Structure 1
Amino acid sequence: MNKISLFLVTFLFGFIVLPFSANALTVSPVKIEVAGDPGTIVTSKFSLINEEKETKNFYVTFENFEAKGEDGTPSFTTATDGLATWIETDTKIELKPGERKTIPFTINIPKTAEPGGHFAAIFAGSQAPAKSDETQLSVGARTGILVLLTVNGEFKEGGNLLEFNTANKGSFYTSLPVNLYYRFQNSGMSRIMPQGDVVVKNILGMTSNIIPANGIQGNILPSSIRKFNIVWGSEMTDKDTGFFGMAKKQWSDFAFGPYTAELNLNYGADKEVISKVRLFVFPWQLTIVVLVVLSMLYFGLKKYNKWIVGRVLRR
């Protein structure tokens, strides 16, 4: 089975709902979500825009995709069955310079289609696809639209939080940011988009920060694991180096003492999972600066008071 990895698949799989452009061709949207019963026809549409200054022919192809690794990157598979073979639309589209055209398409869901999630991509590119008796060495520049189909019916839905921890599995930090992550397994038959927050609380139980657990709105495909990264605090910059650079960073992004990061996830219809990580932040550079300043103030005030008392006694 021929699998094709594209340089823009990670960007696509994040499901960002803005038009995506590649090599003078723009498609919109980049994600289409539809649902239908077995044996029915589902209709939808997408738009193509020719950004070039000449009339161009664009060719449309279809491929299934599945999860590859844990970072959300999809792996596209040449279609011999599945959703990619159920989609029908014009496969050759002529666009004049600057022309925008709406392209309708249909999905013919077989009566025997298994309930749950089915996933494919509609690709548009300027290179004609290889014929069945040819070997295609290069796919050229293509722009993709993800099609996420849910076939209605009874299907298994399940998930499991495998891990929630800090990025280096440590518990002691001298400054923010603290990088956390969680790994979630989808054991069901349809995609899962976990929702929730990571709530960071200090030793008094007061909330210091609330961070979205799935800020990228990423999906987890069936029978796959996905890793989500979470950052508490602002990222380090080139200015946050050296003793005083770190002290300034610790002051502007202040954290001190023990904290608990609690992950609260919701998925599926009514499922919930909670996990906690404990950590300690000790900004030693800032602590030294504060102690030095306080010492200077203490001895300065002590000397000043001594001078005042001596002045009074001399009168």
Structure 2
Amino acid sequence: MKIFRLLSLAIVFFLSTSFVFALGVNPPRFELEGAPGDTINRVIEVSNQDDFPIELTILQENLTTKETGFPTEINTDLPDNISLKKWIHVNNDNNKILLEANETRAIPFQIIIPEDAEPGGKYAYILFAYESKGQVTQKFRLASMLLLNVEGEIINEGNLESFETVMIDEDKKAHKQSFFSKLPVIFSLKYKNTGNTHMKPGGKVEIFNIFGTQLKNIGTESILNSQGVRTNTIIVDYLPINDNQGNVIANSLRHFMFQWNGEVFQEQDNAGTKHIKFKGSPFGYYTAKLTLTDMNEQPTIQEISIIIIPWQDILLYGGSLILFLAIARKYQKWSRKRLEDEIRKQLQANK
């Protein structure tokens, strides 16, 4: 049962006055290829991980993504030769299933690619929808994402739109900034896919100090299995780009954000579990070097400057030092005057 909690696109917990339930799907994502006229057969497993039965409705919807990479439905009706949802056929009566308590069900489905299908990336969900039947009607939907690449004239093109460091304001909006008083330093990278199929840009950001020395142990990188589930995390000398290997779908822009938190180290608790921690307070001028890889033959390389001056600490410690020096100087004057008074009294007593 635990494996479904790890592999699900989402585990949905639904709360009401009388019950709680959880669902999972496996796999959360299919990445497929086929030619016009092909039929692709696959299976989705859906799991009811609670102790009461639920009825689900199976739906298909075309999708696109937002800049964050979060998928969203396409509400307009697409032509048959590019509408993946019209090619999906679920082998189930009435598109409804009743899952008993703690039951896992395999749901076969087919994708029948039409002969006149346009080449390139096509995207859709297979959705499992539930509607509660209590006093208050509540709905949820759990999905598995399908990314299909139709063979033909495939265009793999994309470009770096921007790479910069930013500050996040109270409204959670990003503003370009290269001067920081402390960590973390937040990086913003926008990549535009101008081709007709999905791509997975990757790469790294290395950081160098004013002397050109590369900083070590500044990032963590995920080790993923074939289904995109993290199996391990390693410490690396760079900040990885697109660490979870997310796709940028055709003709879309995706915004990646990541941050430099300091030097990475592992700390083990009393139970023997290792935790990722950060330390260090960088000061001065740094260069961040981006090496971006995609389907292009040559990587894209770009450098930006970062200045870190902990002015608040400087003001605090500087103010404390000034106060200490002022007190010391005043004490010195008082001590000198007191000594002069003592000497004067002794001279007068000796007359």
Q: Provide the residue aligned with 1:3 in structure 2.
A: none
- Which position in structure 2 is the counterpart of 1:218? 246
Which residue does the alignment assign to 2:86? 85
TM-fit CA distance, 1:269 = 5.8
1: distance between equivalents of 2:6 and 2:207? 29
Q: State the distance in 1 between where 2:155 and 2:40 align.
A: 23
Matches within 5 A, 1:1-315: 18-19=7-8, 20-22=10-12, 23=14, 24-68=22-66, 70-78=67-75, 81=80, 82-89=83-90, 90=92, 91-127=95-131, 140-167=139-166, 168-208=175-215, 209=218, 210-233=238-261, 252-268=279-295, 270-286=297-313, 289=317
SS in 1 for 2:36: coil
| Structure 1: gaps spanning 5 or more residues | 1-15, 129-137, 235-250, 300-315
In 2, Cα distance between equivalents of 1:175 and 1:57: 52
- Identity, in percent, stands at 32
Shift of 1:215: 2.1
CA–CA separation in structure 2 for the residues paired with 1:156 and 1:139 = 43
SS at match of 2:7: coil
Deviation at 1:169, TM superposition (A): 2.0
Give, in whole Å, the separation in 1 of the partners of 2:189 and 2:130.
40
Distance 1:45 1:32 in 2: 10
Q: CA RMSD in A?
A: 2.8
Amino acid at match of 2:53: T
| 2-structure distance, mates of 1:38, 1:224 | 24
Q: Does the 8 Å CA contact 1:26/1:48 hold for their aligned counterparts?
A: yes
TM-score by length of structure 2 reads 0.66
In the aligned structure 2, how far is the partner of 1:169 from the partner of 1:282? 17
Uncovered stretches (5+) of structure 2, i.e. residues with no partner: 15-21, 167-174, 219-237, 263-277, 329-351
Q: Which letter maps to 1:73?
A: F
Q: Secondary structure at the match of 1:222?
A: coil
- Provide the TM-score with structure 1 as the length reference: 0.73
Stretches of 4+ moved more than 4 A in 1?
285-292
Report the equivalent of 2:273.
Answer: none
Alpha-carbon separation, structure 2, partners of 1:121 and 1:275: 36
The amino acid that maps onto 1:117 is: G
The one-letter amino acid paired with 2:7 is L
Pairs aligned (count):
255
Deviations 1:34-90 (A, max 9, x none): 11111100111111112343333211000000123x222322125654111101112
Give the whole-Å Cα distance in 1 for the aligned partners of 2:100 and 2:254.
Answer: 41
Shift of 1:139: 8.9
Give the 3 Å change call, closer, same or farther, for CA 233–193 of structure 1 in structure 2: same
Amino acid at match of 1:282: I
Query: Of the two structures, which has the highest relative contact order with CA contacts closer than 8 Å and spacing of 6 or more?
Result: 1
Distance in 2 between residues matched to 1:267 and 1:154, nearest whole Å: 18
Structure-1 separation of matches of 2:101 and 2:259: 44
Shift of 1:111: 1.2
